[in-house]
Amino acid sequence: MAPSKIKNFFLKKRAEAKLKLGVTGPGRKLNSEAPPPSAKASSSKQKDVYIPPKRSELSAEAKAAANAALARFEGKDKKEFNTSLAAIRAQVRKELEAEKKAKEAGHSSDHGETGDQDTAQEAAASRQDYAVRGVFFRCPMIGDEILPYKEWKGRIKEFLYEQLAADRGLTACLIIYNCNPKDKAELCIETLTKCIENIVNNPNEEKYKKIRMTNRMFCDKIKVCEGSLDFLHAAGFVEIELDNEPHLIWSEDNIDPECSLEVLLEALKAAEPIPVELDRNLQVLLPSQVKQSNLPPDFFRISPEEIKREQQLRTEALEQAQILKTKAMREREELRTVNRYKFSLVRVRFPNGVYLQGTFSVYEKFGQVYEFVQSCLMHESAEFSLVLPGGQKFDVQEDLDKTLYDLRLVPTVVFNFMYENESKNLTDFLKEELMLLIQSF
């Protein structure tokens, strides 16, 4: 069956890529020691939970250097990473003092800078004020990198064209579906399907074995799509000149030896986009780092210019019309704001002052946020709640299947973390390996 051929195609290519890189398993080279087995047994209760990406363990020297820096910072000789509230407050004071000094230095400096320099500084400050660097994705079928969506689309296209010579027919099906706009790809697939079905169902009809390449239907529906000509060549069509016009002529002798029209037809119908998964871009932050609130353009459905224009129009409207809004008016304005975003930045504040941050699609369910937080806890089996600053607590039974869009948890939301019931006395929160991320500021 073609779907299994597609699956085997990727399994084979991934195995070949790993051998070329000298890798025998996830994250391990041939000349390295095997990683220790996971200490945590998989739970039968949890399924489809978020698994934080494995990060390389710090060396003993790196840990010692980090501990020494923290010890100097707090004026104490500590040998373990300090995640206490006192250490966090000390870091906040340090950053506030540095910010104050920077502002004072700025006021005392020469103000004779040009307008262009001011604009450049404002742009740089805006970039530094982003709450997150961007939105990133994974594509397990192709590789292990974490990249922006546009880079993955380019990487997928490059990967498919590299496989074209070895497996022309199957690869061409995937190119059609993954390297063209969806509407064009679907129209091309529909037209190619009819061409091949006509030959299969009418093997003695010569008219179905010839395609004039200047035909309008061919030009508008097939030729415009990447991979379409490669598919036709794999299916047995060859380009020749007839009556001073280019034609594609079909012959059974020209079909790729490892394929048949039936297999190619099924592969064409079964082709799907190569899945690209949203990466959580997990971060652990100090309170001072959460001051950053601006979202990068990747979070928006519209362009930065449109965002700026919309904000300006809304500001002008508020200045000109200071009127009481009805509930319906407020709901329409809220919906209009929510519809501008594709992603939501979720932050969870723990009682020790540390924040956990992750990126979600606005159409992901609240249950996925809950599972993400649960997977990061030192005590994963503990009961807990996520509470909004106003005190609203989400019902585990009713709200888990609702999307962030439905709950209006867009574009950013901050939850307060609370242990519940028998877990109320717990004082440990995030896993130790995640707490090490807090050193990156």
* pLDDT for res 96: 55
Task: Please write the tens of the pLDDT for every residue from 191-232.
Answer: 999 999 999 999 889 999 999 999 999 999 999 999 999 999
Least confident of 97-106, 109-118, 154-163: 109-118
Band of residue 27 on the pLDDT scale cut at 50, 70, 90: very low
Running DSSP on this structure, what letter comes out for residue 222?
A: I
Which comes out higher in pLDDT, residue 438 or 38? Answer: 438
The rounded Cα 7 to chain-centroid distance in angstroms is: 22
Rounded to an integer, what distance in angstroms lies between the CA atom of residue 44 and that of residue 374?
15
Average pLDDT over residues 164-193: 91
Confidence (pLDDT) at 124: 44
14 to each of 7, 138, 170, 417, how far by Cα in Å? 11, 14, 16, 40
Q: Is the pLDDT of residue 316 over 90?
A: no
Q: Averaged over 357-386, what is the pLDDT?
A: 93
- Output the pLDDT for position 68: 54
Distance CA 256, CA 235 (A): 7
User: How large is the average pLDDT for residues 419-441?
Assistant: 84
pLDDT of residue 329: 57
End-to-end distance of the chain based on CA atoms, in angstroms?
A: 52
Contact by Cβ (8 Å): 282, 356? yes
More confident residue, 207 or 52: 207
Give CA–CA dist 195/265, Å, rounded. 10
- pLDDT reported for residue 336: 64
Kindly tell me the burial class for residue 92, based on how many C-beta atoms sit within 10 Å of its own C-beta (0-12, 13-18, 19 or more).
Answer: middle
Q: Return the amino acid letter for 98.
A: A
Whether residue 280 is predicted with pLDDT greater than 80 in this model: the reply is yes
pLDDT at site 257: 77
State which of 25-34, 81-90, 176-185, 325-334 shows the largest mean pLDDT.
176-185
Tell me what pLDDT residue 8 has: 62
Q: Name which residue leads in pLDDT, 213 or 256.
A: 213
Indicate the pLDDT class of residue 350, thresholds 50, 70 and 90. Answer: very high
Residue 422: pLDDT over 60: yes
Q: Of 43-57, 74-88, 125-139, 382-396, which has the strongest mean pLDDT?
A: 382-396
Band (pLDDT 50/70/90 cuts) for residue 112 is very low
Task: Using the predicted structure, report yes or no on whether residue 368 has a pLDDT greater than 90.
Answer: yes
pLDDT band at 302 (very low <50, low <70, confident <90, very high): low
| E strands present in 64-177 | 137-139, 143-147
Q: Confidence band (pLDDT; 50, 70, 90) for 270?
A: confident
pLDDT, residue 314, reads: 60
Asked whether 310 and 377 are in contact (CB, 8 A), the reply is: no
Report in angstroms the alpha-carbon separations of 276 from 38, 147, 268, 340: 26, 10, 20, 22
Residue 386, both tokens: 């996520």
* pLDDT above 80 (res 296): no
Q: Quick check: 398 and 433 in contact, CB under 8 A?
A: no
- From the CB of residue 87, how many other CB atoms can be counted at a distance below 10 Å? 20
Does the pLDDT at position 320 exceed 60?
Answer: no
Q: What is the mean pLDDT of the chain?
A: 75
Give the position of tokens 């440990």.
428
Give me the pLDDT at residue 128, please.
57
Distance, CA of 206 to chain centre: 49
How much is the pLDDT for 273? 86
Predicted confidence (pLDDT) at residue 355 exceeds the cutoff of 90: yes
Number of H helices, E strands in the chain: 15, 13
Cis status of the peptide bond prior to 304, with omega within 30 of 0? no
On the question of pLDDT at 1 being above 60, the answer is: no
Average pLDDT over residues 182-192: 93
Please give the residue that has the higher pLDDT: either 11 or 354: 354
pLDDT for 238 equals 93
* Residue among 217, 218, 253 nearest 237 (CA): 253
Q: Of 236, 239, 240, 265, which Cα lies nearest the Cα of 251? A: 236
pLDDT for the residue numbered 93: 56
What is the pLDDT at residue 291?
67
Which amino acid, one-letter code, is at 139? Answer: C
Using DSSP's 3-state secondary structure scheme, residue 59 falls into coil
CA 284/CA 268 separation, integer angstroms:
45
Are 285 and 234 in contact by the 8 Å Cβ rule? The answer is: no
Average pLDDT over every residue of 125-151: 82
Please provide residue 206's backbone torsions phi and psi, each rounded to the nearest 5 degrees.
-70, -25
46 band by pLDDT with thresholds 50, 70 and 90: very low
How does strand 237-242 pair with strand 210-212?
unpaired
Token pair for residue 96?
């506030």
CA-only gyration radius of the chain, Å: 29
Share of the chain above pLDDT 70, in %: 61
Within 243-379, strands assigned E span 245-250, 277-278, 283-285, 343-349, 355-361
Average pLDDT over every residue of 19-34: 41
- What pTM did the predictor assign? 0.63
For residue 326, the SS3 value is: coil
- What DSSP string describes 97-131? HHHHHHHHHHHHS-----HHHHHHHHHHHHHHTBS
- For the record, the structure tokens of 232 come out as 């036709």
